[in-house]
Copies of this chain bind each other. A is one copy, B any other.
Amino acid sequence: MNSTVDQLLSNHFPSLAKFPELRDEILAISQIHTFNAGDVILREGQYIKVIPLLVSGLLKVYKEDLNGGEVLLYYIKSGESCVMSITAMMKGVQSSVKGVVEETAEILVVPAEAAISIAKKYPAWNTFMYDLFSAKYDELIHMITTLTFENKDVLVHEYLQNEAKLKGSNTLKITHQKIAKDLGSTREVVSRILKKLEHNGQVSLRQGKIEVLE
């Protein structure tokens, strides 16, 4: 029984699934849920009751600003979990970020208490988390260097390249307004940068659609 979840775990979280006891324990206490694009699965100020293991789809993690703005911090893709949920859970504090489903996501949901007990028993779980922490640190630090040393056109370009890579398509269905919101900028600024990128042959623009050429 439960062979489907078993397979999902083996396919998408091999570093966890290769330890039979750990795998069995996760299978015993987790449930699979599907969320749709636009669903907000984690809100700022919310307490962490579950740890998500993303089997398929794509999430975006945002930090909200006081004045209604928000910045995209990083993505969570298949085979990953939410580092901010982990740390908030371990400390028993509220989430300081927002998690939004970008592409229909199948999520293996592990109850928080179970995750804590697993973390104590299985080094592999911690190793998995360390790797994840590390990857997200690198992303945050890269973002800081881009914000510090580069102009917005680099920020926009890297955003588009990231989107293309994570969505597995160079043709993005996205508006200038959405890009501006993700980057904490304004539509006009993004529009002008996109025109510049198009002029440089880096993208090709159509209404509601951007093709990433390089």
Contacts and interface: CB of A to CB of B under 8 A. Distances in A.
Interface of A: 63, 65, 67, 69, 71, 73, 83-84, 86-88, 90-91, 96-97, 119-120, 123, 126-127, 129-131, 133-134, 136-138, 140-141, 143-145, 147-149, 183-184
A63 B140 CA distance: 11
B140 A141 contact: yes
B87 A133 contact: yes
A40 to B, nearest CB: 18
A108 to B, nearest CB: 21
Contacts of A73: 141, 144
B149 A67 contact: yes
Nearest to A130: B90
A84 B136 CA distance: 11
A144 B141 CA distance: 9
B149 A96 contact: no
A137 B90 contact: no
Contacts of A183: 148
A97 B138 CA distance: 10
A75 to B, nearest CB: 15
A134 B63 contact: no
A63 B120 contact: no
Contacts of A71: 144-145, 148-149
A78 to B, nearest CB: 20
Contacts of A144: 63, 71, 73, 140, 143-144, 147
B184 A130 contact: no
Nearest to A146: B147
Contact of A137 (B83, B127, B184): B83
Nearest to A145: B63
Nearest to A83: B137
A70 to B, nearest CB: 9
A68 to B, nearest CB: 10
